Amino acid sequence: MGWLGDVELEHLPRKDNKQADALAKLASTLSMTDKEARIPICKSWVIPPIFSDDEDDMLQEEENHVTEVFEVEEEDWRQPLVDYLKYGKLPNDLRRRTDTRRRATRFIYYKGTLYRRSFDGLFLRCLSDNEKVQAMEETHSGVCVLTNRG
């Protein structure tokens, strides 16, 4: 504690520090008994790692000079982000240019698919308008039907 400089420690009795006492009591009631077991749940990645350990895979990817075409009938909301992340190309409109650059920090483009980084660090696949409708239909026609009953 020398690196903190001048520090004074003062002991407060429980009766004078009721909030901390209540938290300590709550924590002691939540502790596990001998009959309980704590089982860790591992997180799994939604997508494979970006960087491969195998150097042959990396060399093979470098040798393939393939241009991908992201074909859309109407302007897809993902296209400006894909253009910026993959080619560094920004829209001509100043407002859209600023918006794309700002939003791109939360996205990655990996193996032809756009992903958004969630707050807990998982990568969520970005859906087109058609995929969005299909996902909502599948969600609400399956498991959720049982939970919506009275």
The model's pLDDT over 72-118, given as tens digits with 9 standing for 90+, comes to 556 788 999 999 999 999 999 999 999 999 999 999 999 989 999 98
Q: What is the pLDDT of residue 85?
A: 92
* CA distances from residue 95 to 77, 92, 98, 99, 102 in whole angstroms, order as listed: 15, 9, 5, 6, 11
The yes-or-no verdict on residue 149 having pLDDT over 90 is no
Cα separation of 126 and 132, whole Å?
9
The model's pLDDT over 110-135, given as tens digits with 9 standing for 90+, comes to 998 999 998 888 899 999 888 888 88
Instruction: Give the residue among 44, 60, 42 at the shortest CA–CA distance from 52.
Output: 60
Q: Where are the domains of the chain?
A: 75-150
Q: What is the pLDDT of residue 62?
A: 52
pLDDT band (50, 70, 90) for residue 147? low
Cα separation of 133 and 130, whole Å?
5
Which pTM value belongs to this model? 0.46
The model's pLDDT over 26-48, given as tens digits with 9 standing for 90+, comes to 766 666 666 666 665 555 555 55
Instruction: Give the residue among 80, 135, 143 at the shortest CA–CA distance from 107.
Output: 80
| Mean per-residue pLDDT of the chain | 74
